[in-house]
Amino acid sequence: MERVLRYVLSLFVGLIGLIAGGLLIWMAIANSVLLWGVYKYATAESGLAHELRVAEEKLKGVKFDLDKLIQPALLAVLALSAGVFLLIIGGRSLFRRLMAGLPEENEGRAETAVGRWGHIAIYLFGILLAGKGLVFGILYVPTDVPLTFTSVHGEATAEKHWSVPSEREGARPSYYAVFRYTTADGQSYRKEMQVDSIVAAGLKRDPDIRIAYVPNDPQNMTIARWVRSPLGYLWFFMWRIVFVTIGVRGIARELRPPDGGSKVNVQPLSVSVGAPPAESRTGLRRKQFGRRT
């Protein structure tokens, strides 16, 4: 089972490399086209672009600075290089794994102590990364499961909303709101909850918002777009469980002796008449006594 999980994960990693590389290349090309348009606009000597630039420079009181295009151009080149690298590495990894099939038991195991501890550190990082979300997901199961599988949608109105500055310098403030909503049976409820900056900005324009609540527990309410689909909720746990499982098994594989254990092979001792003298464990030959005549 572990070999199958490692096989699927390696295919997934290769596919992610392909997708990430393709996205970076697309972003680099799009930014390059945009920068080229800005460059043509800034260097136009006649035509509509020239007239618009002259009007903009008069309005701002400064001339267009071409040096501002250097940093975006370098970022586009870096994004293109990284995209090509990921595309090649991801495609190569995916192709090799498809050709090789299921990995062997000790495939990928480091040969040196430094390499083994490096692999263990990577496995531990993956376990911590996936395990944190897994623990919090389990803690919120009593709230999230009813919302995911039994909730109904409705309308709520924000009676008031406010922000609380963060105690940390430079950190974003926290946003809160009090919602009033009516369930299907005609009962009205109020709930104060913390919201994100996107919801807070939307409430400034329109106090009405879509919500999801559990019919048997109307106080279990949240913003409708925060509720995952059943498949998305299951996927939240599945990939984390796979990561933790592979990490634990990988650490066990790195700590295991190369031969799979400390077995001692004992060869049977055979004695034959007339055989030549055998060496002892100390390297000395056993003495042979002749017959008396």
pLDDT tens figures, 54-81:
676 666 665 666 666 777 788 888 888 8
- First CA to last CA across the chain, in angstroms? 73
pLDDT at 275 over 90: no
In whole angstroms, give the CA distance from residue 148 to residue 196: 20
3-state secondary structure the chain: CHHHHHHHHHHHHHHHHHHHHHHHHHHHHHHHHHHHHHHHHHHCCCHHHHHHHHHHHHHHCCCCCHHHHHHHHHHHHHHHHHHHHHHHHHHHHHHHHHHHCCCCCCCCCCCCHHHHHHHHHHHHHHHHHHHHHHHHHHHCHHHHHHHHHHCEEEEEEEEEEEEECCCCCCCCCEEEEEEEEECCCCCEEEEEEEECHHHHHHHHHCCEEEEEEECCEEEEEEEHHHCCCHHHHHHHHHHHHHHHHHHHHHHHHHHCCCCCCCCCCCCCCCCCCCCCCCECCCCCECCCCCCCC
Q: Could you identify the residue written with the tokens 């080229």? A: 36
**pTM, whole model, 2 decimals?**
0.52
Confidence (pLDDT) at 223:
94
Q: Which residue has the higher pLDDT, 269 or 258?
A: 258
Nearest CA-CA partner of 107 in 92, 94, 95, 97: 97
pLDDT at 9 over 50: yes
pLDDT at 221 over 50: yes
pLDDT tens figures, 113-149:
777 888 788 888 888 888 888 999 999 999 999 999 9
**Which band of pLDDT confidence, cut at 50, 70 and 90, is reported for residue 264?**
very low
Top mean pLDDT of 24-28, 74-78, 217-221 is at 217-221
Q: Which residue has the higher pLDDT, 253 or 218?
A: 218
Average pLDDT over residues 258-266: 50
Confidence (pLDDT) at 105:
60
Average pLDDT over residues 103-108: 61
Average pLDDT of the chain, as a whole number: 78
In total, the chain counts a number of residues equal to 293
Q: What share of the chain in percent tops pLDDT 70?
A: 75
Q: Could you identify the residue written with the tokens 């007239």? A: 51
Q: Which residue has the higher pLDDT, 4 or 32?
A: 32
**Which band of pLDDT confidence, cut at 50, 70 and 90, is reported for residue 191?**
very high
Confidence (pLDDT) at 262:
44
pLDDT at 269 over 70: no
In whole angstroms, give the CA distance from residue 101 to residue 4: 10
pLDDT at 230 over 70: yes
Average pLDDT over residues 105-117: 70
Average pLDDT over residues 154-174: 86
